[in-house]
A = this chain, B = another copy of it.
Amino acid sequence: MKPSIPKGTRDFSPVEMAKRNYIFNTIKEVYALYGFQQIETPAMENLSTLMGKYGEEGDKLLFKIQNSGDYFKSLTDEELLSRNANKLAGKFCEKGLRYDLTVPFARYVVMHREELALPFKRYQIQPVWRADRPQKGRYREFYQCDADVVGSDSLLNEVELMQIIDTVFTRFGTRVCIKINNRKILTGIAEMIGQADKIVDITVAIDKLDKIGLENVNAELAEDGIPADAIEKLQPIINLTGSNAEKLQTMKEVLGSSEIGMKGIEETEFILNTLSTIGLNNPIELDLTLARGLNYYTGAIFEVKALDVQIGSITGGGRYDNLTGIFGMPGLSGVGISFGADRIFDVLNQLDLYPSEAVSATQVLFVNFGQQEAMRCMQTMAALRKAGISAEIYPEAAKMKKQMSYANAKNIPFVAIIGETEMAEGKVMLKNMQTGEQKPQNTEELIQAIARQ
């Protein structure tokens, strides 16, 4: 029997884990700097919590867990023979695997409302599961890294989330462009031209300006059924260029009559002005074609693009209202972001941006020459570990070549040798695996030499 794992799932090897931990730890540290606190929720939720929250398609993509015990008892022959998979799944299963972190978070807030100090700033980094068709870059099990603030309308939350994004990617050493939009501006545009239901068509068409040119954009808008006078009114928005301030100025002129549009402009202006006072390392850009999550975002919308790698959005988020309304707790506004860990992993891989200390494991391997020498190694290693140095001894007194190739395979930068001479002299021969240099040292010198690396 040749073992395998379910399609769309992955094992993570030591090197992959070290890289992933570097990503998660960086994000966690920055979240914590801004006062976000971690929570975790169970992998399994009741199906009543999950069903109906992700649309009909989402319901189908939930992994459902078979009830234990005799789940046939309550079923009639007729029901069984109906072979209605969807309906009977409801009888066979009461639990499902988490599909995202948002619905469990909403459920958490409602269940723990009495003990929460609002505004509640939480982050959550856990796997989610979706029975999607697996394909390149799309998995059935993947991690999400969400941070949300609920219970506060203040735009300072938006500002801080942008600072978090900026700090995280600065720490990663990868250049990004943060894109920002506002649902209210999009609503204002649709209002202005009297085409409330066409907002997605409009943003999709505008998004193609660079590729297909103004004429073709206008043609596509006409094809989408937008009348000529509305397309005329849209021209300053399609042609929107310049700095964020210039764009906002144009928008103000165009949307002056739309209350909601002006509100969106005001919000965006506040966020951008505050951020420019504080100062970001990465550019932030008003982008009206940004239209993610239009069915739930109600205010600011964010997205992050990597500048040096061709890849989709690597982080996203926005402001939503009524997160917890589905669980009977209305009126709680929130804003959140989510880092796309798998894509960030690919970006850092492509740009080779992992710091060596983050991905290196053992710092020194002690060669094993036999019981007596091993004992001296064990004592020296105890001192090294006390000094925070990770050390291991090859557990068998195997051939030197075998021990050295173990050090190579694990990418261990130093090898320590205690043979006959070193035993007699009370020293350790430290060999730098990169330079080949070697030198006898006492324990104190050993610690210094390895820690310096």
Contact = CB atoms under 8 A, between A and B. Distances in A.
Interface stretch (A172-180, A382-390, A417-425): A382-390
Given A42-B5, A127-B43, A390-B32, A361 B37 contact: yes
A335 to B, nearest CB: 10
A27 to B, nearest CB: 14
A93 interface: yes
Copies in the complex: 2
A451 interface: no
Interface string A1-36: 111111001111110011001000000000011110
Contact of A34 (B45, B94, B156, B390): B390
Contact of A66 (B73, B93, B406): B93
Interface stretch (A77-85, A219-227, A285-293): A77-85
Contact of A32 (B10, B89, B361): B361
Contacts of A75: 83
Interface stretch (A107-115, A254-262, A301-309, A428-436): A107-115
A319 to B, nearest CB: 13
Contacts of A385: 33-34, 167
A283 to B, nearest CB: 18
Contacts of A17: 37-40
Best-surrounded residue of A13, A66, A88, A160 (most CB of chain B within 10 A): A66
A14 B9 CA distance: 29
A293 to B, nearest CB: 22
A68 to B, nearest CB: 4
B11 A95 contact: no
A154 interface: yes
Contacts of A327: 1, 3
Interface string A33-65: 111011111111110110000000000110111
Interface stretch (A182-190, A200-208, A243-251, A391-399): A391-399
Contact of A11 (B2, B44, B108, B396): B108
A81 B85 contact: no
Contact of A156 (B39, B71, B395): B395
Best-surrounded residue of A42, A49, A69, A71 (most CB of chain B within 10 A): A42
A131 interface: yes
Given A157-B395, A328-B2, A13 B44 contact: no
A46 B121 CA distance: 37
Given A327-B3, A395-B119, A12 B32 contact: no
A391 B33 contact: yes
Interface string A364-398: 01001000001100110010010011111101100
A83 B72 contact: yes
A85 B115 CA distance: 42
B44 A395 contact: no
Interface of A: 1-6, 9-14, 17-18, 21, 32-35, 37-46, 48-49, 60-61, 63-66, 68-73, 75, 77, 80-81, 83, 85, 88-89, 92-95, 97, 107-108, 110-112, 115, 117, 119, 121-122, 127, 129, 131, 140-141, 149, 152-154, 156-157, 159-160, 163, 167, 274, 277-279, 327-328, 361-362, 365, 368, 374-375, 378-379, 382, 385, 388-393, 395-396, 405-406, 409-410
Given A13-B39, A42-B141, A64-B66, 19 more contacts: A1-B327, A3-B107, A3-B110, A4-B49, A4-B111, A6-B94, A9-B42, A11-B42, A12-B39, A14-B122, A21-B38, A72-B88, A77-B81, A119-B395, A152-B395, A277-B375, A278-B378, A278-B382, A279-B382
16 contacts: A2-B328, A5-B46, A6-B44, A13-B39, A17-B40, A35-B410, A43-B97, A43-B141, A66-B92, A71-B85, A72-B88, A156-B374, A156-B395, A157-B395, A167-B385, A278-B379
